């Protein structure tokens, strides 16, 4: 079967709205998207890293010698096998909407828990290796008002304070943004966008006066998902084409192509602003006449 041709340059609003209905299949899409991301990372990472799918985000107890430690486990991890470093690509990546001091993204009363992908550095013998970067794909239960919001925000803080890079991906336009500094799309705040991506780098450290930064990508309904620099160890990065991963996810399952049928009415259209509903219709009209 040929690849699905989408009228949308970025997030497919028909698919996204269908998935976000009760029993709409979001968990199925989440799992498929995680696998596509893991496979993309494995094909892109330097030879001294690897990506590994894991169980959903949770806290587990590990024993080393006579001591026990707690850590969170994401859906996918990336590990480094050696300390070799390669040049960092900088060309042909999306310019962030904003660069924020990472300290400004910590709110005392924020809580959340998205499902994740993580990246590890392999230390040459024992698995999993050193946790380098975590990638979280947010689910409704993990956003403000959700049942796991508090727990995730605690883990988010722990992750960044342990100098682990963090990427957070949000396709859930019907819920409030993860951080209060971000314009609230459901409340129709000025300059709000339906989708966003955060890329947080806590280096050199997460101490007061010596914080890292967070690149914020705001994404409109008629814009592609970004190509962003994924931070690894120190100054090492790779380019991740999130739009390519998203498109491959749609093409990975027949059910997603069926749900993405843009000839059907847009489900839950009222969750988009009037301006975005018009943008969506413009995309559909242009696709039909092309």
pLDDT tens for 236-255 read: 999 999 999 999 999 999 99
Answer for the pair 224, 193: CB distance below 8 angstroms, yes or no. Answer: no
Q: For residue 128, is pLDDT > 50? A: yes
Q: Which long-range contacts (CB under 8 A, 24 or more apart) does 151-157 make?
A: 151/111, 151/113, 152/57, 152/111, 152/112, 152/113, 152/114, 153/107, 153/110, 153/111, 153/112, 153/113, 154/111, 155/57, 155/59, 155/72, 155/113, 156/112, 157/106
pLDDT tens for 84-102 read: 555 566 668 889 888 878 7
Amino acid 184: pLDDT = 97
DSSP-derived secondary structure letter, 7: S
Strand partners, 146: none
pLDDT tens for 261-289 read: 999 999 999 999 999 999 999 999 999 99
Q: For residue 78, is pLDDT > 60? A: no
Cα-Cα-Cα-Cα dihedral of 218, 224, 230, 235, to 10°?
A: -80
Average pLDDT of the chain, as a whole number: 83
The model carries a pTM of 0.81
C-alpha 104 chain-centroid distance: 20
């Amino acid at each position: 079967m040929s690849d699905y041709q989408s009228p949308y340059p970025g997030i497919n609003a028909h698919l996204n709205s269908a998935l976000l209905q009760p029993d709409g299949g979001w968990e199925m899409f989440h799992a498929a998207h995680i696998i596509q991301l893991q496979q993309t990372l494995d094909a892109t990472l330097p030879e001294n890293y690897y990506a590994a799918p894991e169980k959903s985000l949770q806290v587990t107890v590990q024993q080393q010698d006579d001591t026990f430690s707690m850590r969170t486990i994401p859906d996918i991890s990336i590990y480094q096998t050696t300390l070799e470093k390669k040049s960092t690509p900088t060309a042909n990546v999306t310019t962030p909407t904003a660069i924020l001091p990472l300290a400004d993204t910590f709110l005392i009363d924020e809580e959340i828990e998205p499902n994740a992908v993580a990246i590890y550095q392999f230390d040459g013998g024992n698995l999993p290796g050193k946790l380098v970067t975590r990638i979280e794909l947010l689910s409704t239960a993990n956003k403000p008002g959700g049942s796991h919001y508090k727990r995730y925000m605690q883990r988010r803080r722990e992750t960044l304070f342990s100098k682990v890079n963090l990427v957070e991906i949000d396709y859930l336009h019907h819920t409030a943004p993860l951080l209060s500094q971000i314009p609230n799309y459901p409340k129709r705040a000025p300059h709000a966008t339906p989708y966003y991506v955060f890329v947080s780098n806590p280096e050199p450290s997460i101490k007061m006066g010596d914080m890292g930064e967070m690149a914020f990508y705001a994404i409109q309904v008629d814009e592609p998902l970004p190509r962003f620099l994924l931070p690894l160890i120190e100054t090492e990065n790779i380019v991740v084409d999130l739009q390519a991963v998203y498109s491959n996810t749609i093409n990975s399952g027949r059910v997603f192509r069926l749900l993405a049928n843009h000839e059907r009415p847009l489900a839950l259209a009222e969750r988009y602003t009037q301006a975005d509903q018009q943008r969506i219709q413009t995309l559909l009209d242009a696709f039909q006449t092309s």
